[in-house]
Structures are given as structure tokens and as C-alpha cells.
Amino acid sequence: STSAAMASRNGASSQTSFDNAHAVLPMFWHANSARLARDEAAIAFIRVESATDSTAKAQTVLEKSCGELALIRASAAEDIASRRGWCSKASAAKDQAVLDRSWFDNSPIRATA
């Protein structure tokens, strides 16, 4: 009977605390929900703004590096083309001289001269 009374008191006490907590929780939640909504909106704005800034910076860096690389490649291509032209001209002249010399050495004109 004493234990029944204690259980009854404990049950009533815990039920009252539970009801009290559920009555108090919505009050705090309502007060905090407006603040949380403002905070979440501010955080979302900062994230979007930061992402936009990061994207713009990345785009600028990419465009700059691509432009610089294009100039470097164009310059290198011009250098290579000019070297090829010089080499092929020098090689053609050398080949022609060798051909002329060997032709002249074996030519019937030389034999009569």
C-alpha cells in the first residue's frame, strides 16, 4: 500500500513533469523558431554570396590562365614553325649541294672537261 502510494505519487509527479515539459517546449520553440529562421536565412545568403564570389574568382583565374597559355602556345608554335622553316631551307640547300656535287662528279660534262 505504501509502495502503491509512492508509485501513484511518482507516476503523478512524472506525468506532471512530462505535461509541464510539453507545455513549456512549444513556447521556447516558437520564440526560437523565428530567430532560427532568420539565422538560417542569413547563413544561406552568406553561402550563396560566398559561392558566387568563389565562382567568379575561379572563372577569372581560369580565363587569365587560359589566355596566358594561349599566348605561350602561339609563341611556341611560331618559334617551332620558324625553326622548321629554317631547318628545312638549310637542309634543302645542303641536299641540293650534295646532289649537284655528285651529279657533277658523275656527269659526262666533267669527263670531257
pLDDT at 111 (0 to 100): 54
SS3 assignment for 69-89: HHHHHHHHHHHHHHHHHHHHH
| Domain presence at residue 99 | no
Pick from 35-44, 60-69, 86-95: least confident: 86-95
Could you tell me if 70 and 63 are in contact, meaning their C-beta atoms sit under 8 angstroms apart? no
| Domain presence at residue 27 | yes
| Domain presence at residue 77 | yes
| Domain presence at residue 19 | yes
Could you tell me if 87 and 80 are in contact, meaning their C-beta atoms sit under 8 angstroms apart? no
Q: Give 45 or 107, the one with higher predicted confidence.
A: 45
Q: Which of 73, 76, 74, 95 is nearest to 84 (CA)?
A: 76
pLDDT at 102 (0 to 100): 72
Q: What is the pLDDT averaged over residues 23-48?
A: 74
What total of structural domains would you count in the chain? 1
Average model confidence (pLDDT) for the chain?
Answer: 70
| Domain presence at residue 36 | yes
- Distance CA(41)–CA(47), nearest Å, equals 10
| Domain presence at residue 13 | yes
Banded model confidence at residue 40, pLDDT cuts 50, 70, 90: confident
- The whole domain housing 33 covers 2-82
- Distance CA(20)–CA(82), nearest Å, equals 90
- Distance CA(88)–CA(96), nearest Å, equals 12
| Domain presence at residue 60 | yes
- Name the 3-class secondary structure at 113: coil
| Domain presence at residue 53 | yes
pLDDT at 62 (0 to 100): 75
**C-alpha grid cell for residue 97?**
649541294
